[in-house]
Amino acid sequence: MHDFTPGHGILGGVLIGLGLAVVLLGSGRIVGLSGITAGLINPHAGGDRTWRASFLLGALAVGAIFELASPTTYDAVAPRPLWLLAIAGVLVGVGTRMANGCTSGHGLCGVARLSKRSLIATITFFAVGVATATLVGRLA
Amino acid sequence: MNPLALLGGALFGAGVCISGMVRPSKVLGFLDFAGPWDATLLLVMASGLAVTVIAWRMVAGLRTPRFGREFPAPPSPLVDARLVVGAAVFGVGWGLSGYCPGPALVALVAGVPATFVFVAAMLAGMFAVERREQSTRSDA
């Protein structure tokens, strides 16, 4: 199998889960990265800015430490052309707001409590994601 | 600053870096079934879910969060076209780019221009939906 890193995958997944669990257990909030981001850019979202900004700051600060300590953590070159990334970005932004969640909020938080909405959303974006990437992979 | 959210974000950031989910090439390695396949993403989801499932079990045994007022209400059973269409639109964007919202934001720290293009487009997409409806909803 190509580039398969099971140990890092499991450790990383546990840490991602812990990040969401800490906020859920500590302050009773369901963490979704699309929801956090949308809440920060929407001037009408109300007074929950502090925790959202804190979460993002924590994530980006640790991300920066990884960039300094181990630059190969990140792709140096994007795997797709810029015009395609621009289209994809709009679709991800619109889609996650319509569905009210993404891989973290629906995929990890919602599915874990067997939310019907989250299960259906997660099955849908995984199926469509695989179909899209496979199709593009064949064309490329 | 909210220390709990900062910690949660730091754990999340470490998780997406260690697991390789900040690399769209690795995410596409999973989503593209036609190419050399990499199952790592599946292990990230599974181990993340193991943690969030335990977290929800702990929530069930607690009356209130340690630093918050209340736990989230039970999930809404409402499955509408908006949820499914939104998840599908997100899936297309995810499959085209290999980026979902959280890892894309963290990857900004690597300073690769393509990531900025993706994130700017994502924010524009989110903002467009937020503007269309000023209502906020409960799940992630």
CB atoms within 10 A of CB A111: 20
* 3-state secondary structure at position A114: coil
pLDDT for B138? 47
**Band of residue B137 on the pLDDT scale cut at 50, 70, 90:** low
Q: Would the pLDDT of B140 be above 90?
A: no
pLDDT for B127? 95
0.90 exceeded by the pTM?
yes
Instruction: Give chain A's radius of gyration (CA, Å).
Output: 17
* 3-state secondary structure at position B64: coil
Q: Is B102 within 8 Å of B19 (Cβ atoms)?
A: no
How far apart are the C-alpha atoms of B84 and A125, rounded to whole Å? 9
Q: State mean pLDDT over B43-58.
A: 98
- Find all residues with CB under 8 Å of A136, minimum gap 6, and list them: B32, B95, B96
Q: Is B43 within 8 Å of A9 (Cβ atoms)?
A: yes
From A24, A46, A125, residue closest to B87, measured CB to CB: A125
Say which range, A36-45, B93-102, B103-112, has the weakest mean pLDDT. Answer: A36-45
pLDDT for A47? 60
- Find all residues with CB under 8 Å of A112, minimum gap 6, and list them: B49, B52, B53, B55, B56
User: How would you write the pLDDT of chain A (140 residues) with one tens digit per residue?
Assistant: 578 999 999 999 999 999 999 999 999 999 999 999 999 998 776 668 999 999 999 999 999 999 999 999 999 999 999 999 999 999 999 999 999 999 999 999 999 999 999 999 999 999 999 999 999 999 87
CB atoms within 10 A of CB A138: 11
pLDDT for B135? 52
How far apart are the C-alpha atoms of B105 and A30, rounded to whole Å? 19
Contacts of B32 in chain A (CB under 8 A): 130, 133-134, 136-137
The nearest CA of chain B is from the CA of A40 a distance in Å of 10
pLDDT for A1? 57
Percent of chain B exceeding pLDDT 90 equals 91
Q: Is B17 within 8 Å of B106 (Cβ atoms)?
A: yes
pLDDT for A8? 98
The answer to whether A84 faces chain B, any CB pair under 8 Å, is yes
The nearest CA of chain B is from the CA of A91 a distance in Å of 5
Q: Would the pLDDT of B132 be above 50?
A: yes
